[in-house]
Every structure is written in structure tokens, then in C-alpha cells.
Chain A
Amino acid sequence: MDFISILSIFVLACFVGYFVVWSVTPALHTPLMAVTNAISSVIIVGALVAAAAGGSPSAKWLGLAAVVMASVNIFGGFAVTERMLAMYKKKERK
């Protein structure tokens, strides 16, 4: 992909982000931060590429370390979001 197509995707995604985030109810801003944390760990894709490739052992180990960190975030982020969202209830109590 050339730079301009990537930049186009980026700019349009910024606008999508802007509108989607303003529509998030303020009551869910903490889960929003937790889940954005989890999804920004999609950086694991880069970590996996580095960890999978042969050629440079140091790059591989850096990649593996990044895989561990991103995994903490992915599992931790989604799980804690799930835990918080499960607490939001209305009128069903008792």
C-alpha cells in the first residue's frame, strides 16, 4: 500500500473515532478507557511479526517481550471491561 492510501485510512478513521467517541455515554467513560487500552494492544501484530521472523535473535526477543506486554493488556483490558460492564444494571435487582 502506498503512503497516501494509508494516510487516507488514517484520516478517515480519526473522523470515525471522533463521532463514535462523542456518542459514548459519559457513564461508560471508564470502560471506554479500559477497552481502548485493550484494542490499542493490536500492536501485538507488530510484535508477532518481529517474534516470528528469523534472522535477528535480538529482534525476536524484543518481539517476544512485546507480545507478553500486549497480551497482558489484551486479556486484562477486555476482562476488566467485561467485569465493569456486567455491573451496569437497571431495575432488575430483586
Chain B
Amino acid sequence: MEHVAVSPWVMLAYLVAGVCFIIALRGLSSPESSRAGNRAGMIGMAIAVITTLVTHDVASLPEIGIAIAIGGAIGFVIAKRIAMTAMPQLVAAFHSLVGLAAVLVGAAAYLNPEAFGIVGATGEILTVSRVEMGLGVAIGAITFSGSVIAFLKLNGNMSGKPIILPARHFINLGTLAAILGLIAYFTQDQDPWVFWTVTGLSFAIGFLLIIPIGGADMPVVVSMLNSYSGWAAAAMGFTLHNTAMIITGALVGASGAILSYIMCRAMNRSFISVIAGGFGGDAAAAGGGTAIDRPWKRGSAEDAAFLMKQAEQVIIVPGYGMAVAQAQHALREMGDLLEAEGVTVKYAIHPVAGRMPGHMNVLLAEASVDYDKVFELEDINSEFARSDVAFVIGANDVTNPAAKTDKTSPIYGMPVLDVEKAKTVLFVKRSMGGVGYAGVDNEVFYRDNTMMLLADAKKMVEDIVKSMG
């Protein structure tokens, strides 16, 4: 049985679905067009699903309906309930499902190749389809197990500290070589053991690749797994000869790869060094050490309120610590009060301020901060010199001037926010002892124009709001 001739209308329908997905991503170029884009994505998905159902002899429609209803209900409830701070975990969990679905589809295609039209004249699976299937299952399995580890690390079920196995590079490269070798062998011999060994080894390598990567590098990992989930979908699209899947897979693959690149650049880390792992556990204790010995100034909520009310422009620099303390709503209230006093308030976001790309923007949007007051690093960095107050809350490494001057610093070369150029820096921090992810002391604490506001972020902002009233 050769490939079943497919009606051009069916191919056209899948192409339209693919175009809808391109429009969905294109919509995200601005918040105004984004919701229309998201709707286009939904329409594309509906077209793809309906086209598939009407063009196949569906022997099990009730079961399929129930499966969609169960999955849909679970997805919908999770989407409605999830806290915005937990977005990175959710995305990791969703990636794992795409990966596992790809593995299951690949396995189903292996067990029932006739249904997928990939059987050659000899009754065996077509050679090219075997390669595509093998790659799809391998990438899917890596996406699944890698995402599960990323989820556990982000969700706090597993320590963010890197887990370093001895000779891990040797083990990992060996496993990868074995997977590729077996996929090559699969073209010669479609025995079940080859297929299932590829699947099993791929699950193992996904696990091994992510455990040595520390909490600080999770934004890169989540983006990378995003990319993998796309490539898995594309590989399955090759197996199924389905344009919608191929276009989508390429889009998602490209998207994840670009986001990984942006995150690496923002941390001045090379992709290879992130993959190699071992960097940055949760609140690393190494380095610095001399934190308490140098003189620094402590301020009160009243001092902060007074300084900011007198200011012409205040730039707020939020970091993940702000989100952990759930201070975003109090912060927005503070911003509103300042604006009522005629102060210009802007927000400066470092690309790695949150736990995933764009995370901080979502958290501020949730607190109803207008998005046109929120600026990216390169757009606002020149403005600190013209600002009266830089209000740093829950951020640390991303403000450290050592990244610009100290060649020995582990964060040297990382782009940072020039907060020290503002007339006054108000630095909200829980205590003087703790250091950021990179485990380095921050020069900004000891500068003459810095006032340390030592307290829980939310409590401090609430006190400032009270003092302003």
C-alpha cells in the first residue's frame, strides 16, 4: 500500500491552519493585536482537528470525544486557577505533555503504520519514515523527561542545586551517540527492541541533561525545552506528511531557540556552558563573604516616601524577589500615589528578572501596571542618570556594577541596569547577608547615594504607601 492520495482540499485546510498559527505569533508583536492573534491560533487548531476527523474513517468517535473533554476540562481548570508566579512551572508541565504526546503518537505509528499510510510495497515501514519516527520519538522523550525535571526544580519539589554526576559529559555523549546509532540501525531492522531502546534511552538522556543545570539557568532551560517540543511536533509532521504540524513545529522550534538565545545573552552565558550545567543553585552561598564589614546607610519607609515624593522621576526595578514577596500590588499602589503627586514613574525590566522570558512583565500586568510604563533594559538604561530615584526591589545581580568593571566577577560582561547613576538608589532587601544567584556582593549597597531599606519587600512597600498618605 503506497501513500493514500490526499485531496488537495485537505492539504489546503492544513495549510490554512498553519497560516493561522503564524498569525497567532505575529499578533504578539504588540499587546493591542495579541488577543486577535490568540483567537487566530484557536481557529487554526479547530480547523486542524476538524479536518482530521472528517477525512478519516473514525471508528471510535465517542472515545475521542471523551478524551478531548477530559483533557480540555483539566487544561481549562488549570489555566483559570494557576497563579501568575507559577507560570514557569506550568509551561514546563505543558512542555512535558507535548513531549509525551509525541512519543505516544510515534509509538502508535510504529504499532499501526497502515493507519498513517507509511507502509511500503514490501509491507515494512518506509525507510524515510523510520528515521522521522525515530527522531520524533527521541526528541519527544527528551522533551518529556527534561521538562519533568525542569518542572520539579521550578516548583520546588527538587532542589535548584545542580546535581553533578561524575563523568556526566562522557555518559551524555555516549547515550546521544547510541540513540543516533540505533536510529540509523532502525532503517535496516525495524525490530521492536530497536524502537523501544531508542525511546528508553531518550527518556534517560532528557533526565541526565537537565539535572546538572542550576536554578539560575532555568529560564534558558524552559526556552530550550519549548524549542524541543516544536522540533518533536515537526518530526511527527514529517512522519504524517502534515503541513500544519510541520509549519507549527518550525515556528515553535524557532521561537524556543530565539528565546534561549535572548536569555543566554542577558546572562552573558554561552548556550554550551548552560547545557554543560553546574552553575548557580538556589541562593548560592559561595563567593562574596565580606558583606557586612563595609559601611552602608539604612533608611526607613518614611525616608523613602519623602525622597520619592520630592522626585521628578522614579524608576522602579523589580526582580523575582518582589514576586516571591507578592509585593506587585502594593508596588502599583505606591506608583499610583507617586503619580498623583506629579512624579513620573517608570518600570525597568531586566530580561532575566523573572524565572522565564517576559515573566516580570506578566506579573506587573497582573497588578494592573500600564504596559507603556514598563521598559526593557536597553530602552531605559540611559534614563537612570536623569532620574532622582531608582527603587530596586527584589533584584540584585541585574543591578551589580561589577558586571561592567570587575573582570574577575562571575557575572562580568552581563548587561546590567545602571541604577547607581540615579541621584538616589533605594534598595529594598530582606537583610544585608544574602546574595543573589551568582553569589557575589553588590557594590551598589555601599555607595554614598544608596539607602538600604531592609525588610520584607511587601511590608516595606506597604509602609511606604502608609507614610505617603
Chain A: residues with CB nearer than 8 A to chain B? 1, 3, 6, 9-10, 13-14, 16-18, 20-56, 58-60, 62-91, 93
Asked if A73 and B108 sit within 8 Å, CB to CB, the answer is no
- Contacting residue for A85 out of B21, B34, B73, B75, CB 8 A: B34
Which residues of A have CB within 8 Å of B302? none
Which residues of B have CB within 8 Å of A25? 28-31
Question: B374 → chain A, closest Cβ, in Å?
Answer: 6
Asked if A17 and B35 sit within 8 Å, CB to CB, the answer is no
A36–B229 Cα gap in the complex (Å)?
Answer: 9
Binary interface encoding of chain B residues 1-43 relative to chain A, with 1 for a CB under 8 A from any of its CBs, else 0: 0000000000100100110011011101111001101100110
B276 interface residue, CB < 8 Å from A? no
Which residues of B have CB within 8 Å of A36? 25, 226, 229-230, 251-252, 255-256
Which residues of B have CB within 8 Å of A3? 128
Which residues of B40-60 have CB atoms within 8 Å of chain A's CB atoms? 41-42, 44-45, 48-49, 52-53, 56-60
Asked if B79 and A79 sit within 8 Å, CB to CB, the answer is yes
Asked if A75 and B75 sit within 8 Å, CB to CB, the answer is yes
A36–B41 Cα gap in the complex (Å)?
Answer: 9
Chain B: residues with CB nearer than 8 A to chain A? 11, 14, 17-18, 21-22, 24-26, 28-31, 34-35, 37-38, 41-42, 44-45, 48-49, 52-53, 56-60, 63-64, 67-76, 78-80, 82, 84, 87, 90-91, 94-95, 97-98, 100-102, 104-105, 107-109, 111-112, 114-116, 128, 222-223, 226, 229-230, 232-234, 236-256, 258-259, 262, 349, 351, 354, 356-359, 361-362, 365-366, 368, 370-372, 374, 376
Which residues of B have CB within 8 Å of A39? 21, 24, 41, 44-45, 248, 251-252
Asked if B108 and A75 sit within 8 Å, CB to CB, the answer is no
Which residues of A have CB within 8 Å of B91? 30, 33-34, 37
Closest Cβ neighbor of A22 among chain B residues: B258
Which residues of B have CB within 8 Å of A71? 67-72, 74-75
Which residues of A have CB within 8 Å of B362? 30-31, 84, 87
* Known contacts A65-B104, A69-B97, A85-B34; A90/B361 CB under 8 A: no
- Contacting residue for B76 out of A40, A79, A91, A93, CB 8 A: A79
A33–B224 Cα gap in the complex (Å)?
Answer: 11
User: Which A-B residue pairs are the 3 nearest by beta carbons?
Assistant: A71-B71, A76-B75, A29-B358
Which residues of A have CB within 8 Å of B243? 6, 9
Asked if B101 and A26 sit within 8 Å, CB to CB, the answer is no
Asked if A59 and B68 sit within 8 Å, CB to CB, the answer is no
Closest Cβ neighbor of B104 among chain A residues: A66
Which residues of A have CB within 8 Å of B31? 25, 27-28, 85, 88, 90
